[in-house]
Amino acid sequence: MNRIDKLKAEFPPADRVLPRLLIERDAQLGDAPLFSCGDSSLSYRETRQAAARNAAALAGAGIEQGDRVAILCGNRAEFMPIFLGCGWMGAVSVPINTASRGFQLQHILSNSGARLLVIEHSLLDALDGLELDQLALERLWVIGEGSLPEQPGLIAERMHVTEAEAAPGAIRPSDPLTILYTSGTTGLSKGVVCPHAQFFWWGVYTGDMLGLRAGDVLHTPLPLFHTNALNCFFQALLNGCQQVVEPKFSVSGFWKAMTESGATVTYVLGAMVPMLLSRPASPDERGHRIRVALAPGVPAPAAEAFTKRTGIVLLDAYGATESNVVIGSRMDENRPGWTGFLLPGFDVRIVDEADNPLPDGEAGELVIRADEPFAMSLGYFGMPEKTVEAWQNMWLHTGDRMLRAPDGWFRFIDRMKDAIRRRGENISSYEVEQVLASHPAVAEVAVFPVASELAEDEVMTTIILHDGATVTHEEILRHCEGKMSYFAVPRFVEFTDELPKTANGKVQKFRLRERGVSDATWDREAAGIKLRR
């Protein structure tokens, strides 16, 4: 029996809820370590107890099953117990990006209808300027030292958890566990409603793809308010591993942290690998125990260089908060430059604008269905129109352009909204980035459309160079020649020291598009550079 079938048999459908997972693993693994963050470490038993105790504290504050509890907190020891406490009693956690401020934060708190906000003391200034009296908020629980805020109409108190334990709630696999807000680049942020069973399947499918072993140490520097790090916890819980959470990603401290934790598996995002490669090679890069890293979106040249330098196999994968991990690769089935193959548990299609299936080799939008009940999200909280739009024709529309090769391997092309159309030709910003990233002087790169005076788009790239590297704008363009269609070679090039990013390290291309061409931008046509065709 394979790993997936074993976990399906161990946890029949009704048991695919957080309390049952914690109770079963406590009974089996008890004192083995499960969760660590900073100086705090919890065993399987202590994690189950922490969930029950935090649930009791929540109940004492008047929180009931189905109520939403917002969490504005970075990677610290208190985050996971309060998240699990909500899930234990049937309340719905609402983790919020710690960078959220102003209108966006007001919208999230309003849309979710959260009655309680658990907030890190250092983030209290995020509440400045908010219309708190327009929200459903009744209480603030403050984590950390410092004076309590005075907010009219709100009870502000220090977060306090005793040894009293609450009984687990009567929870179904379809019940919401958490609402995760996706960044809205063209509209309001949408709250993705993730049920208990979705996280069960996340842990099952991702753990299987990574080939996790009992006793593995899963080290993540990614924020707990996002899917990736939360998924990592369920991978650990279901597969008998330990999750170690780093307070934040640090280029200079990455290898030291990996070595000290004894990590065997880690998790990075596309931009992190070039950043790590930008530092001089050191013995620490080979002094670890890591065999594999889940690393979606890493450019193929950087992935190959990283594996050669560190010995760590980087596995690409595709998933979304709305879905699950759907496409991926394995250590013995890995193809740089390709996202992977269809993983068990899902059905996908590549479709055109009218939802008609496209043949292999032709790019279109990826749409997804799940084989198992509630393996994907329930929709967008309080936004029924957006839910219907995303689940058109009973398929989740991802907004991502991909193609499938005849042998079943998938390649990510672009976000639909990041696609560039120049003089009748469609251009993948992702594919242009792959070529630019292969230049030895390039540390990070973003490619995006800017308005053309002839209508449609022109291609622009903004580049961060490696420390000490020098290269001319024309040399960058000549590097592109012959490696892509002539019409895809960027017209505009700009060197910079920093790219705008989310807290999760994703480049905010909409900000680059909004800014467009500046006085610092080099124009190929104005410079009189002609491309070879």
The domains of the chain, with CATH numbers, are 17-23+37-195 (3.40.50.980), 338-417 (2.30.38.10), 419-523 (3.30.300.30)
- Of the CA atoms within 13 Å of residue 484, those in its CB half-sphere come to 23
Q: At what angle do helices 44-60 and 18-29 cross, to 10 degrees?
A: 140
Tokens of 247: 């307070």
- Of the CA atoms within 13 Å of residue 125, those in its CB half-sphere come to 2
- Starting at the edge strand found earlier in the chain, the sheet holding 190-195 runs 155-158, 139-143, 116-120, 68-72, 92-95, 176-182, 190-195
Rounded CA gap, 189 and 11, in Å? 34
SS3 409: strand
Task: Look at residue 170 in the predicted model and tell me its pLDDT.
Answer: 98
Rounded CA gap, 401 and 350, in Å? 8
Contact (Cβ atoms closer than 8 angstroms) between residue 75 and residue 35: no
Instruction: Give every residue of the chain whose pLDDT is below 50, as ranges.
Output: 185
Rounded CA gap, 17 and 172, in Å? 7
E strands of 155-220, at which residues?
155-158, 176-182, 190-195, 217-220
Task: Look at residue 454 in the predicted model and tell me its pLDDT.
Answer: 64
SS3 471: coil
